[in-house]
Structure 1
């Protein structure tokens, strides 16, 4: 077809097809260059080809944009070649059509159909479009010009030129990824100090052609660093490269002198094998930087460890622990050698930079600690900022103390151990204060194996923390059980925990529980307190649930048991394995802490009147009391249920907790009952079975007379030495008034102790001394 050829299309009345009316549409199939092939006019109005976005707008950095910023230049492409076009601003639109516009400038496209370098200078913000051959005046062909917002400000008014030398430059803009020219009267564009200041946080380019220092691809805030910059005020002008928007920012640089590191404590003393804890302090010039710490001097001590600490949180302190057990073991990992502790955990950094090799554990004695901000260990050793001393002492012999507790308290301790915000050792201390963990020489075991006491073996063993990796207080169960499983030079475990019956029957092997046996790790929970104490919780119910093949584990009522915890690690004990054989090591070098306890079968009873009945009053706080030999803190349920002809009927339960003296009590609301009503009292979910008959009475009265005896001894003429002891005996008389019942007196003796501190022994000693003084006087 030639120019001007057309085709006619007949369209029925789309609004009312039944009317029979139709409309003819004439379409030019070969339009001239000035014709518009995108638009068809019909009786129904003008329609637009959806593909009428003939113009593509580009910037120097980005293709196909629909928004540019005032000051930028842009290009119009996909036009007809060598044609004249107009840039027009949009005044009004109707739907997708531009109905009113204003002429701004004229441009001629090149041979590729492009207009290059259209300037936005002098143009107000708003919508613009290129109009001319092949272009439709629609909103699809517009580009929007907007104003770039831009501001800069340093995050602080001043910064130090040593120590904490970084400060953020805050950049705020409604645009991302643009270039910024940096200018200052204090620096030439190619001054290396500009690179030092801005090169840490920004990507930059030194443009020698335009003599500009340019930050490239700026999108957000970034750090600047004024380390070693001269003291004074510095003013900077920041200009967006392609839009010309600019802003100023100033900062004062303080001269604080040379950075210096020190130790918060001049002397640190540890037992051989323990962690030594150090806090490196930094003055204001060194805050936020690095410090070198040298433990020992290779020439003077035969050992040296090099450590670098980084004050990431800029608080001037880094606290870390150094493992004297692993010292000299060049196969030890960095985190086995040093670890951040205290407030430095998660805030600072530490790196272990090497150590001398030793065949044995680090010897006892004094080791110099050198610290400095120089990153060269040789320089710090020759000229340290400050020095301290690490004193390694002989290990003390381990000791063992026995405690017992309930499974409920053990669960509380395990929960605390799993909470990063709670100190598990403090949970034990709280349980001791609340009489839920008590010193003991007995253990109550349930024949069914489901409600046993939990024994707590307190192992006091200074020097063990390095072997267990226990730099701080917390749970070390996995480390402890690993030491039980790992063999030393002679094939023995590094640690051993063995419980053995001391009074087996005739011709019977003693019952033995070897916690080194496989499969028993689930029965152990081990907590370190950071002071050389390790609390080994042994849940005997869990032991009995395991497939324990090494013995029958037949601890039962009346057994006397010895618990031996042995330290057998040849490195920790510094055994000369070339000259000492295994049997000699076991007899003369292994260190064992022993403790003894007796086994009782779990039992309990209710307090009864002279008729062997549980007597309670008809009141809101009717109390059922009893005693048991299970561990304080143990919980179980007490139930009361009406029997016989009692009306109204009742059935109530209460959870009780065993107190330090073995007593328990449950309170029930029996205010609707009457004297003579009968019931049964029983326990549930306990290690013992207990059920007794009970009766409701008019009243239960208790009298508590107290007798106090005081002994005073005076010795000497002019000098007087007086010792006074006070003993208190308490008798409780309980009278039950019901029918012909007679009062029953029950004497109760109560002893209390504070576990771990020997308070009871001290009081007994004081009383004994006083009584002895009286006897001597007489």
Structure 2
């Protein structure tokens, strides 16, 4: 029994020893492959290492065998830079080159790696370092048209296309679901380029290749004809974020959906737009007839329909009118219109060398220029007129085509009429305004608006330091003054100063175009005394005109007349005005221009005989003012209005001050600032006297109006009841109403005696028995005295 036990124990020991040896051998075999593959992740790389979703990723230097299976796994956790957990995505296998290629189109953003393999070749573990993985990035793409709808022709056929992405550069394929072929797509994205140039064999490009030439603002190119859908798509090569214009001119009307696809990623976007059909391109005159006086400037406005974005304008016609101007309209404003100004004074003179590049004959309105409207003058067919453009009715023609002016005259879209009428020289009117008002004047419309608002007043009086605005009520002068204003080499004073000697056109014979003379009158200067003549070269002079508007205003600032002797010419009395004296001046305007006056040396003896003259005389007075009342009695209430009268220009701003005087306690001071003088030649301030007391006195003054002597007045705060002292005037009405009652009794004899007995009673207030008091008043006084005596007793 004992031997059996020993034998069993020995057998068990041998058995367990054998099991242990076999287990160690098995463990060794199992551990050997893992130990060998532990560092293999660092022996190869992924290309690209951070691909955009949709790009293929390929291993480099993996060194596997064809068909060897691996797992594509997504990192779900890391620990100290090493992958600690991951998720299975799909099986992948090595190709014939021993490398694994991974399609990322369906992969989400994140880090990925491959693992697995077999012991016969390569085995990759599931815990690589994070640097041995590759990252999938998602490309965003947005493509949007600026407008939902465009026209199939004309200025409205264009819109902007904006393309944005979080990727730096990329190539796009553009298609429209087969509704547009590659030529139409090319015309949209490269409207100014030639499709035939882009479609040559040298310029068509295979997918993935670099194009030889790019076209348009989106770097467009065409694919080789054997590429899939090459006739229904175009490429935009390596573009970045941009917003550029596309043009649907010539595209059939309808709804289109454009597909924008990045060529190497899954990014794509769509953009929808509607193309509408429009009528044939056409232009028309907004006003079929425009007119101006000979020598004036007229405005011509032309409108384009949706299909038109350019055209031609012809003014006159050489054979019928002896004058013709050919103009190309390059573009219209945002409202598909353009306004041009035509100067009948300079028309037909472009060959003289005095008018540069026709810009003084015709030009575009400034507001339209700001909206990119523009013209170019092809030719002034008649450019050497001997006289100013004649009066008459001239044809104007427009056509929505460029280049053929003969066609514009013979087959225009629309015909208008330019009526040039006889000039008139009527009168000279004088207005006045403050410095602040004149600062806001840019054109004739501003003057008229100021007159409507009451800030510019027509009158025969101008206060010293204010502006005198002289209205030249004469037509046909705008062209001359417009030419002066737009030519830096021609000074206004050279043409209008009394000492001037420069003519508008060198080949003309007159000394000057016009004369303006502002001179003191003989009555003002006195006998045997030189009269003051305003020097237009040293004073602030503004000539106010508006193209297309009749009327010229010459504004002169009198601010320097009373403090500088340079205000007047040296040939006259140069002494400055005394700011406390009044003067009288005469403004004289005379047209002397032979061009305007149509002087013919063969038919007219002297040019002087044709001169046209207008003038006006007005006073230049001391700046004065006075209060409507002195003393000014007010009550202790709110909103008390105090008014002063003044001769300074309406719109002038002054301050009015109220300050307590005498023994008034508590003292007070109130100021109303920036009060405007009205066209009624007064200014009113509103003050709060509610905190004052009856009997208070104050001083009232107008300040900061440039007065040599400050307008002042005394003031008193009186009892509000004092205002009712005028009520006796109202009591006269009842007395008058009683008169008919006294007449009625006269018709009835029995009752006539009663009113007669009342007559002595009505006379009692005028009774002289008690001077200054009536009987009742005397009685009341006695009672009051008795009460006072009683009150004073101890």
TM-score by length of 2: 0.65
Return closer, same or farther for 1:505/1:372 CA change in 2, 3 Å cut-off.
same
Q: Which residue of 1 aligns with 2:401?
A: 374
Structure 1 residues 580, 96: CA separation in 2 closer, same or farther (over 3 Å shift)? Answer: farther
Counterpart-to-counterpart distance in 1, 2:459 and 2:489:
23
Aligned to 1:270: 292
Report if aligned partners of 1:484, 1:495 keep a CA contact under 8 Å in 2.
Answer: no
Aligned-residue offset at 1:512: 0.9
Q: For 2:76 and 2:190, how far apart are their aligned partners in 1?
A: 46
Q: Is 1:98 aligned to residue 107 of structure 2? A: no
Alignment-derived partner of residue 193 in structure 1: 184
User: For residues 633 and 343 of structure 1, do their structure 2 counterparts lie closer, same or farther at Cα, with a shift above 3 Å needed?
Assistant: closer
Asked whether 1:208 is paired with 2:199, we answer: no
SS class of match (1:195) = helix
Q: 1:130 to 1:478 in 2, by over 3 A?
A: farther
Name which of 621, 624, 627 aligns with 2:645: 627
Please state whether the residue corresponding to 1:602 is helix, strand or coil: coil
Whole-angstrom CA distance in 1 between matches of 2:132 and 2:669: 85
Is 1:484 matched with 2:484?
A: no
Instruction: Please state whether the residue corresponding to 1:69 is helix, strand or coil.
Output: coil
Aligned to 2:22: none
Q: Is the 8 A contact 1:272 1:392 kept in 2?
A: yes
SS of residue in 2 equivalent to 1:194:
helix
Counting only pairs closer than 5 Å after superposition, residues 126-145 of structure 1 correspond to structure 2 as: 126-128=110-112, 137-140=128-131, 142-145=133-136
**2: CA distance between counterparts of 1:161 and 1:617?**
77
Query: Are residues 146 and 276 of structure 1, via their aligned partners in 2, closer, same or farther at CA, if it must alter by over 3 Å?
Result: same
- Summarize the alignment of residues 138-287 of structure 1 with structure 2, pairs less than 5 Å apart: 138-140=129-131, 142-149=133-140, 159-163=150-154, 164-167=156-159, 175=167, 177-183=169-175, 192-200=183-191, 202-208=218-224, 210-211=226-227, 212=230, 213-217=233-237, 218=239, 219-220=241-242, 222-230=244-252, 238-243=260-265, 253-286=275-308
| Shift in alpha-carbon separation, 1:391–1:559, aligned structure 2, 3 A | same
Q: Please give the alpha-carbon distance, in whole angstroms, between the structure 1 residues aligned to 2:436 and 2:546.
A: 16
Task: Name the residue aligned to 1:637.
Answer: 655
User: Which residue of 319, 328, 338 corresponds with 1:318?
Assistant: 338
Measured against aligned partners, the alpha-carbon deviations of 1:474-517 in whole angstroms (never above 9, x if no partner) come to: xx7998994234532468554543211122223211111032x2
CA–CA distance in structure 2, aligned partners of residues 659 and 632 of structure 1: 5
Query: 2:754 corresponds to which residue?
Result: none
Partner of 1:652: 670
- Within a 5 Å distance, the mapping from 1:589-738 to structure 2 comes to 589-607=610-628, 613-620=631-638, 624-655=642-673, 656-671=675-690, 673=692, 676-686=695-705, 687-689=707-709, 690-698=711-719, 699=722
Q: CA deviation at 1:120?
A: 3.1
Deviates more, 1:682-691 or 1:572-581: 572-581
Counterpart secondary structure, 1:192: helix
1:393-432 paired onto structure 2 within 5 Å? 393-397=421-425, 399-405=427-433, 407=434, 410-415=435-440, 417=442, 425=444, 427-432=446-451
Q: CA deviation at 1:386?
A: 1.9
Distance in 1, matches of 2:480 and 2:43, equals 75
Unmatched 5+ stretches in structure 1 = 1-32, 39-51, 59-65, 418-423, 446-451, 706-778
CA distance in 2, matches of 1:251, 1:664: 62
2:479 equivalent in structure 1 = 466
Q: CA deviation at 1:260?
A: 1.6
Give the direction of change, closer, same or farther, for the CA distance of 1:241–1:562 in structure 2 (3 Å limit): same
CA contact (8 A) 1:202 1:223 kept: no
Give the distance between the partners of 1:646 and 1:185, measured in 2 at CA: 93
1:528–1:535 contact (8 Å) kept in structure 2 = no
Q: Does 1:563 align with 2:584?
A: no
Question: Shift of the alpha carbon at 1:541?
Answer: 1.1
Is the 2:43–2:62 contact (alpha carbons within 8 Å) kept by the matching residues of 1? no
Partners of 1:53 and 1:498 lie apart in 2 by 100
Contact 1:640 1:679 in 2 (8 A): yes
Aligned partner of residue 347 in structure 2, secondary structure: coil
Structure-1 residue corresponding to 2:199: none
Task: Give 1:652 shift.
Answer: 3.4
Name 1:47's counterpart in structure 2.
Answer: none
Aligned-partner Cα distance in 2 for 1:538–1:650: 42
The answer to whether the 8 A contact 1:294-1:377 is kept is no
Q: Which has the higher Rg, Structure 1 or Structure 2? A: 2
Structure 1: distance between partners of 2:100 and 2:252: 47
Give 1:386's aligned residue: 414
Distance 1:676 1:184 in 2: 92
Q: Deviations over 1:528-572 (max 9, x none)?
A: 495322333322114556644624254564533111234455545
Residue 468 of structure 1 deviates from its aligned partner by 3.8
Structure 1 residue 654, shift from structure 2 partner: 3.7
Instruction: State the 1:594 CA deviation.
Output: 1.2
Instruction: Decide whether aligned partners of structure 1 residues 543 and 144 sit closer, same or farther in structure 2, where only a CA change above 3 A counts.
Output: farther
Matched, 1:306 2:322: no
Moved more, 256-265 or 339-348: 339-348
- What's the CA shift for 1:688? 3.6
Q: What's the offset of the Cα at 1:616?
A: 4.1
Distance 1:702 1:332, change over 3 A: farther
Indicate if the aligned counterparts of 1:231 and 1:255 stay in contact, CA closer than 8 A: yes
**SS of alignment partner, residue 588 of structure 2:** strand
Instruction: Tell which deviates more after alignment, 572-581 or 212-221.
Output: 572-581
Cα displacement (A) at 1:300: 3.2
Gaps of 5+ in 2: 1-35, 116-121, 192-216, 496-501, 730-794
Query: Which one has the bigger strand percentage?
Result: 1
- How much does 1:670 deviate? 4.1
From 522, 532, 542, give the equivalent of 1:511.
532
1:658 shift after superposition: 3.9
Asked if the contact 1:565–1:592 (Cα under 8 Å) also holds between the matched residues in 2, the reply is yes
SS in 1 for 2:436: helix
What's the CA shift for 1:403? Answer: 1.3
Distance 1:416 1:138, change over 3 A: farther
Q: Is the 8 A contact 2:437 2:651 kept in 1?
A: no
Task: State the partner residue of 1:364.
Answer: 391
Alpha carbons of 1:524 and 1:239: their partners in 2 closer, same or farther (altered >3 Å)? closer
Quick one: structure 1 residues 626 and 53, their matched pair in 2 at CA, closer, same or farther if it must change by over 3 Å? farther
Aligned counterpart, 2:557? 539
**C-alpha offsets along residues 285-335 of structure 1, whole Å, 9 cap, x if unaligned?**
33xx11221112234333322223355556443333233333334343465
Distance 2:614 2:288 in 1: 34
Shift of 1:411: 1.0
Q: Retained in 2: the 8 A contact 1:319–1:342?
A: no
8 A contact 1:468–1:479 mirrored in 2: no
Aligned-residue RMSD, C-alpha: 4.7
Distance in 2 (alpha carbons) for counterparts of 1:661 and 1:480: 43
1:648 and 1:183, CA in 2 relative to 1: closer, same or farther beyond 3 A? closer
* Alpha-carbon distance in 2 for matches of 1:558, 1:677: 38
- Specify whether residues 138 and 459 from structure 1 end up closer, same or farther in structure 2 by C-alpha distance, changes over 3 A only: farther
- Distance in 1 between the 2:186 and 2:598 partners? 55
Residues 427 and 615 in structure 2, CA contact (< 8 A), matched pair in contact too: yes
Contact kept, 8 Å, 1:310 with 1:348, in 2: the verdict is: no
Change (3 A) 1:363 1:636: same
Residue matched to 2:56: 73
Bigger Cα displacement from structure 2, 361-370 vs 179-188: 179-188
- The alpha-carbon distance between structure 1 residues 663 and 319, as it changes in their structure 2 partners (threshold 3 A), is closer
